[in-house]
C-alpha cells in the first residue's frame, strides 16, 4: 500500500532517536565526512590478554546539511513481515526515506509496500519496477535472497539493503555494483548494555529471546551476554544470562516476529526463572514482555533495540526501559538516498559502529535516578574504550 507521506510523528520520533545516539556515543560534532586508512593497534580483550589488530577504515558521516545540488529520485521501500509500524527497523528505515523526501533527495511520490508474508516480496518489487522506482530499499535479513535476485535483474536500479550482506550459495559476499548494504556492529553497544544490566539487576539473572536466529538478531543477544560476563570478570560476580549461549551460538527464539501470544509466554517463562532485566530482539515482540511486567507488577526492566524504545514505543511502557541498543537506521538510509541523488553513491557494506556513531546506547530516561552514578560512569567509559579499540570482546564480524 502507499504511504501517507504526512506521517511526521513517526519521523520526528525516530530522528530524535538518532540525535540521542550522537549525544550518548560521540564527544564531537563534525560536519565533514572523512575516511581513515586501517591502522595497527594493541587491544585488550575481555579476558585480559593483549593482541595486535588492524582496525577497519573509519567513516564519519556528516551531521550538517550541505547544499544539495542533485536531482530527487523516486525511492521505494519493502518491509519485512513485522510491518511498517513495527516501531523498530522498518519504521526507522522508512523514516529515513521520509527524511530524504523532506530534504529533497527523494521525490514526493516515493512510497513503501508492507509485506504480510514472504510471497509478497517479489510482487512488491515488481510493482516498484513497473512504477519507475529508481532506488529500492529492502529491510531485513530475510529479504536478502529476493534483493540479490532483483538487483542483478535490474542493474540500473540502486538498492539499499538494510541489515544484511548479500552472499552467494557459498556465503561469500556478492559485492554487487548497484547495492549498498547497511549493517551494524550492534554487539559493541549491546556489550555495554549487558554490563549496565548486570550492574543494575537485583536478582543477578538477566534474560533474552529473539524472533529467529538471524545474525541481525543474535548479534544483540551475543553482545549483551558477553557484556554481562565481562561485568562478572571485572566485579567477581556471577550474574547469569538466560536465553543465549555464546559458545553454541544459539539461544531462545520464538520463531515469529508477529506472534505476540508466543512472545508473552516466552517472557513469562523467563521471568519465572528470576530474570529481572530482559532484552527481547525482534521488533514489537518486546512489548508482550512489558505487558507481563505491567500486568503482574513485576520489579523488572526492559532493554530495547534499534530505535530508542522510550520514544518509539507506547507510553504505558516508558517507565520500563532501562536503555536501548541503538542503530542509526534513519540517518544511514537518508544518506544512501542523498548520495544516489547527488551522483556520489558507492556500493558495498557500510558498517555502522561506535566509531562512526552508527550504534550506541539511549539515555536511561526514567532509570536515571535508579542507576548509581558510579555504574553510569563505568558504562560511559566502557563505550569509549570499545570505541577506541582498547577493549575487544570477540565482536561478531560484520560487513566484508
Domain boundaries, the chain: 8-26+68-185+330-352, 187-327+357-392
* Cα-to-chain-centroid distance, residue 373: 27
Q: Give me the mean pLDDT over the 175-204 stretch.
A: 97
d(CA 120, CA 116): 7
278 and 289 Cβ atoms separated by less than 8 Å: yes
Residue 313 has pLDDT above 50, yes or no: yes
d(CA 370, CA 368): 6
The CATH superfamily holding the domain 187-327+357-392 is: Response regulator (3.40.50.2300)
Q: Give me the mean pLDDT over the 205-218 stretch.
A: 95
Report the relative pairing of strands 34-36 and 58-60 from DSSP bridges. antiparallel
Q: For helices 215-235 and 186-200, give the axis angle rounded to 10 degrees.
A: 40
* Cβ within 8 Å of residue 88, ≥6 positions away: 82, 283, 284, 305, 306, 307, 312
Q: What is the pLDDT of residue 66?
A: 57
Q: What is the pLDDT of residue 67?
A: 77
Threshold 0.95, pTM exceeds: no
Q: Do domains 8-26+68-185+330-352 and 187-327+357-392 have the same CATH topology?
A: yes
Rg of the chain on CA atoms, in Å: 20
* Cβ within 8 Å of residue 185, ≥6 positions away: 351, 352, 353, 354, 358, 359, 395, 396, 398
Lowest mean pLDDT among 206-215, 220-229, 390-399: 390-399
The whole-chain average pLDDT of the chain stands at: 86
User: Of 195, 202, 189, 194, which Cα lies nearest the Cα of 378?
Assistant: 195
Tell me: the pLDDT tens digits for 169-185?
888 999 999 999 999 99
CATH of 8-26+68-185+330-352 given 3.40.980.10, 3.30.479.30, 3.40.50.2300, 2.60.120.1130: 3.40.50.2300
Give just the sign of the alpha carbon dihedral 217, 218, 222, 225: positive
Report the relative pairing of strands 359-361 and 321-327 from DSSP bridges. antiparallel
Cα dihedral 215→315→201→25 (10° resolution): 60
Tell me: the pLDDT tens digits for 31-63?
343 333 333 333 333 333 333 333 333 333 443
231: Cα within 13 Å, side-chain hemisphere? 29
Amino acid at each position: 500500500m502507499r504511504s501517507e507521506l504526512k506521517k511526521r510523528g513517526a519521523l520526528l520520533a525516530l530522528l530524535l532517536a538518532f540525535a540521542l545516539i550522537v549525544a550518548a556515543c560521540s564527544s564531537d560534532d563534525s560536519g565533514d565526512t572523512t575516511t581513515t586508512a586501517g591502522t595497527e593497534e594493541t587491544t585488550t580483550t575481555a579476558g585480559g590478554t593483549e593482541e595486535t589488530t588492524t582496525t577497519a577504515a573509519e567513516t564519519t558521516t556528516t551531521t550538517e546539511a550541505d547544499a544539495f545540488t542533485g536531482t530527487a529520485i523516486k525511492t521505494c521501500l519493502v518491509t519485512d513481515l513485522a510491518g511498517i509500524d513495527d516501531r523498530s527497523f522498518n519504521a526507522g528505515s522508512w523514516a529515513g526515506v521520509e527524511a530524504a523526501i523532506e530534504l529533497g533527495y527523494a521525490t514526493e511520490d516515493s512510497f513503501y509496500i508492507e509485506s504480510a508474508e514472504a510471497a509478497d516480496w517479489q510482487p512488491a518489487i515488481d510493482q516498484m519496477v513497473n512504477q519507475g522506482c529508481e532506488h529500492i530499499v529492502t529491510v531485513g535479513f530475510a529479504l536478502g535472497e529476493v534483493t540479490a535476485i532483483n538487483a542483478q535483474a535490474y542493474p540500473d536500479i540502486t538498492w539499499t539493503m538494510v541489515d544484511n550482506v548479500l552472499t552467494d550459495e557459498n556465503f561469500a559476499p556478492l559485492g554487487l555494483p548497484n547495492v549498498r548494504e547497511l549493517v551494524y556492529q550492534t554487539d559493541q553497544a549491546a556489550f555495554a548494555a549487558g554490563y549496565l544490566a548486570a550492574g543494575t539487576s537485583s536478582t543477578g539473572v538477566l534474560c533474552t529471546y529473539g524472533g529467529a536466529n538471524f545474525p541481525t538478531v543474535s548479534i544483540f543477544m551475543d553482545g549483551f551476554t558477553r557484556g554481562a560476563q565481562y561485568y562478572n570478570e571485572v566485579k567477581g560476580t556471577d550474574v547469569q544470562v538466560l536465553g543465549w549461549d555464546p559458545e553454541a551460538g544459539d539461544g531462545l527464539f520464538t520463531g515469529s516476529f508477529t506472534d505476540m501470544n508466543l512472545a508473552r509466554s516466552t517472557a513469562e517463562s523467563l521471568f519465572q526463572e528470576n530474570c529481572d532485566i530482559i532484552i527481547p530482539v525482534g521488533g514489537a515482540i518486546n512489548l508482550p514482555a512489558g505487558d507481563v511486567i505491567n500486568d503482574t507488577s513485576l520489579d523488572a526492566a526492559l532493554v530495547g533495540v534499534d530505535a530508542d524504545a522510550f520514544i518509539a514505543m507506547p507510553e504505558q511502557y516508558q517507565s520500563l526501559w532501562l536503555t536501548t541498543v541503538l542503530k542509526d537506521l534513519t540517518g544511514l538510509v537518508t544518506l544512501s538516498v542523498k548520495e544516489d541523488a547527488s551522483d556520489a553513491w558507492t556500493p558495498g557494506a557500510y558498517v555502522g559502529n561506535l566509531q562512526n556513531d552508527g550504534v550506541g546506547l539511549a539515555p536511561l530516561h526514567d532509570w536515571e535516578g535508579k542507576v548509581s552514578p558510579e555504574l553510569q560512569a563505568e558504562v560511559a567509559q566502557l563505550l569509549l574504550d570499545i570505541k577506541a579499540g582498547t577493549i575487544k570482546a570477540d565482536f561478531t564480524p560484520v560487513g566484508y
